Chain A
Amino acid sequence: LAKTTQPISMDSYEGQEVNITCSHNNIATNDYITWYQQFPSQGPRFIIQGYKTKVTNEVASLFIPADRKSSTLSLPRVSLSDTAVYYCLVGGDDKIIFGKGTRLHILP
């Protein structure tokens, strides 16, 4: 399983775009990149998944360069309610391992 590295924490302000980058240098050919969000005392919630290039859904975008050794989660116009821990995971089968995650703190 590919190991992931993310910033431990980030601060941003309401209304800003937030980009969280994850590095995964030893990603395998059949691995997908998945991001989860977790609020305190709740289970993680799936945000987005991608394999290459760009994926966009109603809450986020995921940018993956051609070499796939990193990925960037982009949250447009964040609000206070986006304060949470964001996990980047890499894998392709039924076993996924959470990395340390990024604590995102949104300020008013």
Chain B
Amino acid sequence: DTEVTQTPKHLVMGMTNKKSLKCEQHMGHRAMYWYKQKAKKPPELMFVYSYEKLSINESVPSRFSPECPNSSLLNLHLHALQPEDSALYLCASKHLAGYYNEQFFGPGTRLTVL
């Protein structure tokens, strides 16, 4: 299994809602990532988990709360979002050992905040 899956594919939420994005991989990767991508822009790194511990937080607002319950799962909890948070949210994973820098990306969750 060489796939990263993300659910849901699309999400529409109001500014007062609480929702979660889910990411899953079964490749034995111990690094997992959240990226945010706006239209016609490159992906922007949000969070990195290494061995299930948060290792990098790129100064992301607290309305985004990541969670890594185990080595295969990564969640992104959303609360009190703003319309400008509407974007494609991408999850990725990779091996930590060795130099090879290949990240495997999921298809993303298209988030719309009303």
Contacts and interface: CB of A to CB of B under 8 A. Distances in A.
Interface stretch (A61-69, A75-83, A92-100): A92-100
Q: Interface majority SS on A: helix, strand, loop or mixed?
A: loop
Nearest to A32: B101
Tell me the dominant secondary structure on chain B's binding face: strand
A49 interface: yes
Interface centre among A49, A98, A100 (most CB of B within 10 A): A98
Nearest to A43: B105
Contact of B43 (A41, A49, A98): A98
B81 interface: no
A98 B38 CA distance: 13
Contacts, number: 52
B107 A95 contact: no
Given A43-B92, A99-B42, A100-B42, A94 B55 contact: yes
A92 B101 contact: yes
Contact of B108 (A43, A45, A49, A91): A43
Contacts of A46: 102-104
Given A94-B94, A99-B42, A44 B105 contact: yes
A94 B55 CA distance: 10
Given A42-B107, A42-B108, A43-B105, A49 B100 contact: yes
Nearest to B49: A94
Given A87-B42, A97-B45, A41 B88 contact: yes
Nearest to A45: B105
Given A94-B48, A94-B50, A49 B110 contact: no
Interface of B: 4, 31, 42-45, 48, 50, 55-56, 88, 90, 92, 94, 96, 99-108, 110
14 contacts: A41-B110, A42-B107, A43-B92, A43-B105, A43-B107, A43-B108, A44-B43, A46-B103, A49-B102, A91-B101, A94-B48, A98-B42, A98-B43, A99-B42
